[in-house]
Amino acid sequence: MQYKRFEEMPVWKDTRSLTALIYGLTRGARFKLDLGLRDQIQRSSVSAMSNIAEGYERATRKEFLAFLAYAKGSTGEVRSQLYVALDLGYIDDGQFQEARDLCVSVSTQITRFSQYLKKAVP
């Protein structure tokens, strides 16, 4: 692997940006009042970011791949919760699209990175 620390990985950096974006969106007046959705979408974004880091720090490629799969799942969870926020009027179309696009980008990066790791020589 070409990275010496998980902080160097573009996918982790983008997931960090996603987490910051989600926290910013959830500061909105209406979103802030929906404690359940606010907490869940925040936890999901942090989980995606943390699973990439934790997987990187694990001892084996197999474990890293498992944690990347968890991170991809959490990214999908964020994307689904964004639809709820949009439908309830907590975020507008532009905010939704920005966050959704970042989720899709992160998910795609995780998929490609996982494929690379599966093919890489041990």
User: According to the model, what pLDDT value does residue 59 have?
Assistant: 81
Report d(CA 43, CA 19) in Å as an integer: 9
Asked if residue 92 has pLDDT above 90, the reply is yes
- The answer to whether residues 55 and 68 touch, using CB atoms and an 8 Å cutoff, is yes
The whole-number pLDDT of residue 91 equals: 97
**Chain-centre distance of CA 9, in angstroms?**
13
Spans of all domains in the chain? 10-117
Cβ 102 vs Cβ 18: under 8 Å: yes
Other beta carbons less than 10 A from residue 69's beta carbon? 15
Instruction: Find the mean pLDDT for residues 9-38.
Output: 96
Of 1.10.3720.10, 3.30.300.160, 1.20.1440.60, 3.40.50.2300, the CATH number of 10-117 is 1.20.1440.60
According to the model, what pLDDT value does residue 122 have?
62
- Mean pLDDT, the chain, integer: 95
Residue 41 has pLDDT above 70, yes or no: yes
pLDDT value at residue 1: 58
Q: Is the pLDDT of residue 120 over 90?
A: no
Q: Specify whether the CB–CB gap between 55 and 81 falls below 8 A.
A: no
Specify the pLDDT at position 12: 98
